Amino acid sequence: MSVPQAPQKVKLVMSFLYNQENDFQEAVQATGEKYGPVDLVSEPLAFDFTDYYEPEMGKNLQRRLVSFEPLICPDSIVAIKLWTNELEKRLVNEKGGRKVNIDPGYLAAAKFVLATGKDYSHRIYLGQGIYGDLTLIFKKGSFQPLSWTYPDYASAPLLDLINLLRRKYLWQLKRLSPKWAEE
């Protein structure tokens, strides 16, 4: 028999797609006030894997990853995704489309999970219309993409960033561990 246990806390990570730096800054400020402080903001990475977002958001999109210092319970990702959806609705362009696309997720030692409102075969329903997308798994010393992983998350720049965030997360866990504190 398995005995239910409280989950280990995880690291909140958000991906931001945008084409205007000031829109990104406004979104990061709002998320930092809600979930911060922010402990990493990546350099902008060209988002040229698809033109899916161009009709709504325009051309020359950039992606940045942002992580937050406070660790969270994994089940809080549902409320976080609902909150970021509301923030996106407030940050609209002159055509009524989003200025920023925010994809929250979490990083654990063995996996990277994104929250989404879209169901698919590999996504697990979490509640309130939100699904968890197992995007990457940690294996053989690095995060590895899966057959359904979006191409940008399978690219070297994002994998390198997510591996860096894992090291930061493991350091946080060690720092917070009661056993470590006794030494």
pLDDT digits 0-9 by tens, 115-155: 999 999 999 999 999 999 999 999 999 999 999 999 999 99
* The token pair that represents 183 in the structure block: 């030494």
Q: What is the pTM of this model?
A: 0.93
Cα-based angle 40, 177, 136 (whole degrees, multiple of 5) = 50
82-114 pLDDT tens trace: 999 999 999 998 888 999 999 999 999 999 999
Distance CA 76, CA 7 (A): 11
Distance CA 56, CA 158 (A): 24
